[in-house]
Structures are given as structure tokens and as C-alpha cells.
Homo-oligomer: A and B are copies of this chain.
Amino acid sequence: VRTGLRMLILEIVPRSSETNATGHIDHAVLPVWLELAREPVYRLFNPDLSFSGWNTVIRRIEIDFLDQVRYHKQTEIRTGVSEVRNTSFTVTQELWQEGTLAARAATVIVHFDYRSQSKLPISAAVRKRLLELHRD
């Protein structure tokens, strides 16, 4: 039995400005929502989210759009970590609207020093916290 696994859940209230003329949420809004839901992950690296101390960089995003995303529906993003490597890790996320899986995403994030523009190893302490968010 694996215990102690956590999944981060963020409720989103869609904004009317995020719809487009097709009547649904514009696809380009999803990366904004997904980023919001990753905030607790960023805090592991930069506890007060100060911009001067920002030390992660997004290396890749993948999003599968499985259903139209609607304005009026209760919306939830579920966030976990699928893999932790030496200097980077992968966040996997799901967008649910009232029982429907509307999108699935994977984001590769690198621990990064902006000044030297170089990758940094992920410490054992942060690795442990990331692995607590591990989801298959």
C-alpha cells in the first residue's frame, strides 16, 4: 500500500474574457490555468515566489484537448509529478469539468540559474517533496 501520496487540486473559476467567439474557453487559456495550479510546486524551489529568486524554467509543455472547455462549469485542475530527474522533473495535470476529463497535460520543468543560464541539480529535500506528489 502506497500511503502519503498527495495530489494537488485547484478549483478554477473560468472568466468570461477567457471564452472566445466559438462559445468555449480559448485553448490558449489552458497554459495559464495549468501554471496557476503548479504554484505549490514552484514554492518547493522558491518558497515566497519572489521574482528575483525565480529558479525554474519551463522546458516543454504538451496538452491533449479531450473535450471543449466550457465557461459555466465547475472546473478543477489535478496536479501531480510523474518523474524526477537530476536537474528536471515532469508535472502531469488533468483538467476536469463536472466528471469529464477535458484536458491532460505534461510539463517539463528545469531547476535553473538565470544568472549563469545553467541547469542546477535538484536537492534531496526537494526531490523527496516532489516524489510525494508522484502519480503514475
Stretch at the interface among A59-67, A89-97, A119-127: A59-67
Tell me, rounded to whole Å, the shortest Cβ–Cβ distance linking A70 to chain B: 10
Nearest B-chain residue to A63, judged by Cβ: B61
Stretch at the interface among A50-58, A78-86, A128-136: A50-58
A35 interface residue, CB < 8 Å from B? Answer: yes
User: How many copies of this chain?
Assistant: 4
Task: Give per-residue flags for A22-62: 1 if the beta carbon is below 8 A from chain B beta carbons, else 0.
Answer: 11101111011001100000000000111100100111111
A72 interface residue, CB < 8 Å from B? Answer: yes
Contacts of A114 in B (CB 8 A): 22
Number of interface residues of A (CB under 8 A): 36
| Bound CA span A35–B61, Å | 16
Q: A35 touching B28 by the CB < 8 A rule? A: yes
Q: B54 touching A65 by the CB < 8 A rule? A: no
Q: A17-B26, A20-B17 are in contact. Are A57 and B61 (CB under 8 A)?
A: no
Residues of A in contact with B (beta carbons under 8 Å apart): 13, 15-17, 19-24, 26-29, 31-32, 35-36, 48-51, 54, 57-65, 68, 71-72, 114
